[in-house]
Amino acid sequence: SSENVYVFNGDLVDRGDHSCEIVLLIFALKLSHPDAVFVNRGNHEEPHINIYSGFEEECVSKYDHRVFQTFHQAFVWLPYACLVNEKTLVLHAGLPADSKNVGLDDIRGIARGPDVCSEEANWGKERWIRDLTWSDPHPDPNFRGVEKSARGAGVLWGEDVTIEFFARNGLSALVRSHQCVDAGVDVAHGERVYTVFSASNYCGMSGNLGAVLIQRHGCDKPTEAYQWDPREEAKMS
């Protein structure tokens, strides 16, 4: 409902044995409540990642390869980000290397479709579009600027980059996912950057909690975290 809005922040698949069921449920929720359910695109809404990480195999074993292709015909139309309460930017991974030359209007203007980085409207933007689904905050709190990521795509960015981007775009918080964190949620860059990871015990072996973030109406940033351990009852923090 308009009083209870959900954002699913990418990587809908490749997080366990039930990716097909999860993405079908999320899409069904979106269809039944289009103004209350929002779904961002992550780096695992890419076919070459799914071939490596297991979603293609799951689709073929449960259905056939046409189903895998059909999922991707939907994935290419997912947006890269959304804005909550006009102050919290929600995207899958992080800020682009060229963040000083990228703003919210540029992200809104990304043309979606069958091959995002081949769309004429996106020519020249290919690198920073990829950064949105691959980047991470730098693990060193004293680091400044950006550097290449060991992932092979995206960048690691420092707190100074966050501060400059927020000031120029009128933001108070960035909510991202992309990284498995032990408590299911982590906060960096002076409580400006929130990482939330909802797949508890990732891949059946990580032992991490799962979490969702809650942001109340009218608030500039997340207000609560809801965490769970498959072995225990869920709790609020």
Query: Catalytic site residues?
Result: 44
Tell me the C-alpha distance between 56 and 63, whole Å: 10
Q: Which residues pair with 162 in a beta bridge?
A: none
- Token pair 């039930």 is found at 18
Q: Which residues pair with 155 in a beta bridge?
A: 148
Residue pair 54/139 in contact (Cβ under 8 Å)? The answer is no
Q: Which long-range contacts (C-beta less than 8 Å, at least 24 apart) are formed by 23-29? A: 23/71, 27/74
| Nearest by Cα to 84 from 40, 122, 116 | 40
How far is Cα of residue 132 from the mean position of the Cα atoms in its chain? 8
Residue pair 226/212 in contact (Cβ under 8 Å)? The answer is yes
